[in-house]
Amino acid sequence: MKKNLHQLYLTLADYLGPQNWWPADSVTEMLCGMILVQNTNWDSAARSLENLRQVTAFDASVIRRLPSEQLEHLIRPSGFYHAKVKYLKNILTMYQDHFQELSRLQTPALRHELLKIPGIGAETADVLLLYLFDRSAFVADAYARKLFRKLTGQNFTYEQLKLKVELQSDFSPIEAQEFHAFIDEYGKLKDDPLNLAERFRFEL
DNA sequence: ACCCAGGGTCATA
DNA sequence: TATGACCATGGG
The pLDDT tens digits for A42-81 are 999 999 999 999 999 999 999 999 999 999 999 999 999 9
Say if CB A22 and CB A34 are below 8 A apart. yes
User: What is the pTM (predicted TM-score) of this model?
Assistant: 0.97
CA of A121 to C1' of B7 (A): 7
CA of A42 to C1' of B6 (A): 7
Compute the half-sphere exposure of residue A203: CA atoms within 13 Å on the CB side of its CA. 1
Instruction: Please identify residues in chain A, positions 42-81, with a C-beta within 7 angstroms of any atom of strand C.
Output: 43-44, 47, 76-81
pLDDT category, A1, cuts 50, 70, 90?
Answer: low
Q: What is the C-alpha separation between A136 and A129, in angstroms, rounded?
A: 7
**C-alpha dist (Å) from residue A63 to A56, A162, A179:** 6, 33, 31
Q: What is the C-alpha separation between A28 and A33, in angstroms, rounded?
A: 9
